[in-house]
Amino acid sequence: MKSPLAEQERDRLIEAMLPDVAFDGWSRAALHVAARTAGLPADEAEALFASGAPDMVAAFSRWADRRMLERYEAAPPQSVSTGARVKRALALRFEVMQPWREAVRRALAVLALPPHALLGTRLVYETVDAIWYASGDASTDFSFYTKRATLAGVYGATLLFWLDDRSEGLAYTLAFIDRRLADIARLGEARTRLEEALRRLPNPLRLLRPVR
């Protein structure tokens, strides 16, 4: 079920589940409690998450992506730089998840199982794609994929760091994001300089041309 109505119902159930996931995990027990809270029959709730925990985790991730986009659109960054926009979107994604850190741990435990590895990869892609979309990325060439692959690495590393961050206002996580984005910027500058240097070198294929 992928209708807007089904998506809204999933969102309602995810929001109702979150307080109990820390204790019951992404389980049918937590889903049934959420269904009672949301006023839905248990069988209808189960039908919305036909595969059980993996479907619940996927819905949680997509719920967080949508909440991030809503907050971003409500208060976009003042800066016009791409790095600032990406940082803002990343920070909002962790802000959305902040009250539900244990639910995120439980979700990662589900995605760590071999049968769910592809789902985990897909959800990370959806998150970084949403971040680039919010940041105004309009690329359609090869950089479309390299940007998302690079940001996936930043997001994954930051997620693991954030899980143990107890600083006020996520100050340590924000500083970690700054360092990772700065590393990427330096690598990009170094690559640009290397490409420019290579273009200035003689083309070795010219040596193979016959003298006329």
Q: What is the 3-state secondary structure (H, E, C) of 73-107?
A: HHCCCCCCCHHHHHHHHHHHHHHHHHHHHHHHHHH
Token pair belonging to 135: 């940041």
Are residues 70 and 169 located together in one domain of the fold? Answer: yes
pLDDT of 175 strictly over 70: yes
What residue type is assigned to position 83 of the chain?
A: G
Is the four-CA dihedral 77, 83, 86, 92 of positive or negative sign?
negative
Instruction: Write the CATH number for 117.
Output: 1.10.357
DSSP state of 203: P
Report the pLDDT value the prediction gives residue 203, as an integer from 0 to 100: 52
Domain span holding position 161: 53-200
- 205 lies in a domain? no
Confidence of residue 196 (pLDDT cuts 50, 70, 90): low
Are residues 10 and 67 located together in one domain of the fold? Answer: no
Confidence of residue 83 (pLDDT cuts 50, 70, 90): confident
Are residues 123 and 180 located together in one domain of the fold? Answer: yes
Cite the beta strand spans of 23-147 per DSSP E. Answer: none
- 211 lies in a domain? no
Are residues 43 and 58 located together in one domain of the fold? Answer: no
